[in-house]
């Protein structure tokens, strides 16, 4: 692993000028050439085709380094994965593109439906044109533009997988590997911000002595730990023989990590106060770069619908069985010590999973097929599923750390137990809101407010200084 990590780390530390890339809104040719020489444009391309042939886990590890520059990270990730018609990363210079398009597919019942299919499209096929680069808020050095396809002939051999099965490929390629390398930048922010908090004084006390500042660092540490745990658990699953379908898990990682990253960088900037708002520090660039994570590769709103509808099919039943198997585990001393430290959190996970399975049954009974139109219900369902997977990944990692005696494993246990406590109570609240007559559910009023605003296309309340006399 070090033979890949060390030279890439050295290159990014010594040769990449992220500030200049952001200011010029372009990655210099010499930097791109350096990335090519390191093989980073072919990280997951099989060796027989000239790539590095890395596993998902190894790709995620290198991604920790490439994520130090948001523009480069997106450029490399897009090269490994996908393109769409609008907002295409590398669309101005890519000659070979992976394109997802709706195609008519006849299902088992003889009904024709539109389903997503993945194709390999070459610019040389003809009919492919690129628009001007977009002037973006963040990741400014990456090339993003519109790509138009006008009657492009695509051979049948260029279909990836089966016709109509493209969505799962887009999910698996992009979500996990993209998000697996996002958390490391948050760790870097935490380290830089901690140094400032431990030296900067206010009211004759270091910032690090104030409770609200301590809360921010605990939150950043927990978020980083959970992001790491979920990302590498999912990458490991994807590396198993047979290319298992991990699209649900990958979508979960994307949603949790993108939102967690946004909170982390915002809080890190807050610790620095006015300094964080200046261009003298990298925080304002991190904030701008980070915002896109909630939008591209599928907006988090769309992915929550996917997570909820997919997860409801089997999550409660399968997770319950897996947790019971895990708890049986080995009967060695190591296992008994492990569960002594994590027993309470494991019980919370088991209870939350069982209640979720019961909840899914009641929701399907109440809504039937119309559940697909109940977006506010599905949003809560998705958040529960995300929390369950996060708890599972976190406890799994903390368990491993205890078993093999990693340094600071007690700190990991503390983080895991604290996170699981918070996730458990969040899930309880969400499940209360999803009860048929839940008193804490304001969905009807939320919809009414939105309807009145949208009908007028404006905020309709009178100004506080208006009068009727």
> Which positions are annotated as active-site residues?
297
Overall size of the chain counted in residues: 469
27, 72 in Cβ contact below 8 A?
Answer: yes
21, 71 in Cβ contact below 8 A?
Answer: yes
Long-range CB contacts (< 8 A, 24+ apart) of 211-216? Answer: 213/271, 216/267, 216/268, 216/270, 216/271
Q: Cα separation of 68 and 54, whole Å?
A: 20
Q: What angle do CA 263, 224, 299 make, to 5 degrees?
A: 50
87, 135 in Cβ contact below 8 A?
Answer: no
350, 320 in Cβ contact below 8 A?
Answer: yes
Q: Cα separation of 228 and 231, whole Å?
A: 5
Q: Cα separation of 345 and 425, whole Å?
A: 12
Q: Cα separation of 118 and 159, whole Å?
A: 6
Residue 448 CB: number of other CB atoms within 10 A? 11
Burial class (CB in 10 A: 0-12, 13-18, 19+), 76: buried
Q: Cα separation of 440 and 429, whole Å?
A: 9
What SS3 state is found at 96? strand
DSSP string, 183-226: HHHHHHHHHHHHHHHHH-EETTEEGGGSHHHHHHHHHHHHHHHH
Burial class (CB in 10 A: 0-12, 13-18, 19+), 174: buried
Q: Cα separation of 182 and 175, whole Å?
A: 11
Q: How far is residue 51 CA from its own chain's centroid?
A: 25
- CB under 8 Å to 339, separation ≥6 — which residues? 327, 329, 346
Q: Cα separation of 395 and 201, whole Å?
A: 37
Question: What are the start-end ranges of the H helices in 368-457?
Answer: 375-404, 409-433, 443-456
């Amino acid at each position: 692993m070090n033979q890949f990590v060390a030279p890439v780390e050295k290159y990014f530390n010594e040769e990449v000028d992220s500030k200049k890339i952001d200011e010029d809104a372009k990655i210099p040719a010499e930097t791109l050439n350096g990335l090519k020489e390191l093989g980073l444009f072919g990280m997951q391309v099989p060796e027989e085709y000239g790539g590095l042939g890395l596993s998902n886990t190894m790709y995620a590890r290198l991604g920790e380094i490439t994520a130090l520059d948001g523009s480069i990270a997106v450029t490399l990730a897009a090269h490994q994965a996908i393109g769409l018609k609008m907002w295409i990363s590398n669309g101005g210079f890519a000659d070979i593109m992976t394109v997802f398009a709706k195609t008519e597919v006849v299902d088992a019942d003889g009904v024709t439906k539109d389903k997503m299919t993945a194709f390999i499209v070459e610019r040389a096929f003809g009919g492919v044109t690129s628009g001007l680069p977009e002037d973006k808020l963040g990741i400014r050095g990456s090339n993003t533009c519109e790509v138009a396809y006008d009657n492009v002939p695509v051979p049948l051999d260029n279909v990836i997988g089966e016709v109509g099965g493209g969505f799962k490929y887009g999910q698996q390629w992009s979500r996990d590997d993209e998000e697996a390398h996002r958390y490391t930048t948050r760790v870097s922010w935490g380290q830089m911000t901690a140094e400032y908090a431990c030296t900067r004084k206010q009211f004759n006390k270091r910032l690090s002595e104030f409770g609200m500042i301590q809360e921010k660092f605990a939150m950043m540490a927990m978020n980083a730990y959970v992001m790491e745990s979920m990302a590498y658990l999912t990458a490991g699953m994807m590396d198993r023989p047979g290319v298992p379908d991990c699209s649900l898990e990958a979508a979960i990682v994307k949603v949790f990590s993108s939102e967690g990253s946004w909170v982390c960088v915002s809080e890190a900037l807050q610790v620095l106060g006015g300094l964080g708002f200046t261009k003298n520090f990298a925080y304002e660039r991190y904030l701008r770069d980070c915002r896109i994570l909630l939008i591209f590769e599928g907006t988090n709103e769309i992915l929550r619908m996917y997570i909820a509808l997919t997860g409801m099919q089997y999550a409660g039943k399968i997770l319950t069985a897996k947790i019971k198997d895990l708890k049986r585990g080995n009967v060695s001393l190591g296992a008994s010590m492990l569960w002594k430290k994590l027993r309470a959190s494991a019980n919370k996970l088991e209870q939350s999973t069982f209640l979720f399975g019961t909840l899914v049954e009641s929701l399907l009974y109440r809504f039937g097929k119309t559940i697909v139109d109940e977006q506010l219900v599905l949003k809560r369902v998705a958040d529960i599923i995300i929390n369950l997977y996060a708890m599972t990944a976190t406890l799994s990692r903390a368990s491993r750390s205890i078993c093999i005696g990693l340094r600071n494993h007690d700190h990991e246990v503390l983080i895991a137990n604290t996170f699981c406590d918070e996730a458990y109570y969040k899930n309880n609240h969400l499940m209360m809101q999803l009860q048929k007559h839940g008193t804490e559910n304001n969905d009807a009023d939320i919809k009414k407010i939105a309807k009145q605003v949208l009908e007028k296309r404006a905020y309709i309340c009178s100004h506080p200084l208006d009068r009727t006399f």
